[in-house]
Structure 1
Amino acid sequence: MSIAPQAPGLGMGSVHVVGDPSHRIVLADGLAVEILASYPVRPDADLYSLAVAIEFRCGHCRHESEATLVAVRDHALLCPGCYADLDLVRGPPVMEIAPVQRSAA
């Protein structure tokens, strides 16, 4: 158990992130949790800091988790461990340009 404020119940099923006027995550059971901040770190999963800790079953490993920092991927919550295990985001490929050979003049 954490000392952070908690939302009741265990979130399971798909989730929806709702935008303006108030940013929140709506769990499958209809419970809405306020989003304090979002972190666009990866193209395949979004990371959110929540106002209260929620209990949920991870959409990847299926283990129960409790967190205030959650990832959403394909409308499913990911635990912090599964989010950390996602492939690293790589930058665009570096193109090498061959040097131009100059003729002797």
Structure 2
Amino acid sequence: MISIEPKYDFITTMDKSGLLGGINLDFVYTLTQDVQRPPVIVMEMLNKDRTVLATETKLLRTKAGTYQDFIIGDKIRLPYNVATDREKVIKRLTDDYYYRITVK
């Protein structure tokens, strides 16, 4: 992995009663040689208690080279009031949730 940039994202539920949020990743990676089996990137969204709340996987390329890609994470119900302004929700998301990646 060369670079990873998390983007914390949230939306209001359809009935406007709550918020759904998650983590999306933009990343750049390099394969130094061709591989027969595509590597898999696994992104887990965790809370402060290290409980895995959502998992996303993506197959990577098999040919040698440098690539730019992304993962859109699942949204979970957030424990924040819908009246909270956008900047405060993003701040709380970054404080309360984090991601872990592995490449297999």
Q: Which has the higher strand share?
A: 2
Computing the radius of gyration over CA atoms, which structure comes out larger, 1 or 2? 1
Q: TM-score, normalised by structure 2?
A: 0.26
Q: Which has the higher helix share?
A: 2
Q: TM-score, normalised by structure 1?
A: 0.26
Larger relative contact order (Cα-Cα within 8 Å, sequence gap ≥ 6): 2
